[in-house]
Amino acid sequence: MLDVVVQGMTVGVALAAPIGPINVEIVRRGLRGGFLSGWLVGLGAVSADTIYCALVVGGLAPLADSAALRAPLYLAGAVVLGYLGIVGLRGALAGGPVTAAPPPARRSYATGFLMAAASPMGIVYWLSIGAALVASAVERSGRDAAPVLVVGVFAGIVCWVTVLAGLAQGGRRWVSERLLRTLTALGAGVLLLFAAWFLLDGLRAAAAL
């Protein structure tokens, strides 16, 4: 079963590593509030991705491919990312210091969970590449390998999130207040671009109903 764990970790890292709104938010919060603030956002995202992986393992992927479900997910993702982008821009443009005490743990975790749960990119991944990799593991090692694969996926994403939040924490020492403000504004702008993309796709999905 060790090969299944390794495959699951590979799937997790492959999902988590590409630059997207969740990684942007982990870095942004890590720079502003430290390691724990960014890491908890990532942990929330890990929880949502693990649920999606478990649904694929359970054979429920076709339900998530429904246009009636995709439309509200896209629109919810647009709302979440739009809110985070606006908050980030307001913080960057405000006169006070950009660095701040980390928000409550529950809020950071909930932010990451909502971002991942409503992310069309994550959903598409699990419906395509993720589903194929799960099927491959089950075919090679049997149905008992499915829970092991889920554990591997969870471990892989946690490893990536821990490294990314740690890098953001370390970067605080070398980033000036002015540069941090600029990076915060750029990160917020990226979140707003993703929000606009999700909004357009959500409207298209709703129009197709």
- Global confidence as pTM: 0.72
Q: Which of 140-149, 161-170, 186-195 has the highest mean pLDDT?
A: 161-170
For residue 110, give the nearest of 84, 86, 130 by alpha carbon: 84
- Chain segment 118-144, per-residue pLDDT in tens: 776 777 677 666 666 666 666 666 667
Domain range enclosing 38: 2-207
pLDDT for 39 equals: 94
Q: How confident is the model at residue 110 (pLDDT cuts 50, 70, 90)?
A: very high
Q: How many domains does the chain have?
A: 1
pLDDT for 69 equals: 64
Distance between CA atoms of 148 and 57, rounded to whole angstroms? Answer: 11
What are 135's two structure tokens?
A: 């099927």
More confident residue, 160 or 135: 160
**pLDDT over 60 at 44, yes or no:** yes
For residue 109, give the nearest of 49, 37, 15 by alpha carbon: 37
**pLDDT over 70 at 152, yes or no:** yes
What's the whole-number mean pLDDT along residues 186-198? Answer: 82
Q: How confident is the model at residue 41 (pLDDT cuts 50, 70, 90)?
A: very high
Q: How many CA atoms lie within 13 Å of 28's alpha carbon, on the beta-carbon side?
A: 30
pLDDT for 177 equals: 66
161, 43 contact by CB (below 8 A): yes
**pLDDT over 80 at 76, yes or no:** no
Burial of residue 167 (CB within 10 Å: 0-12, 13-18, 19+) is middle
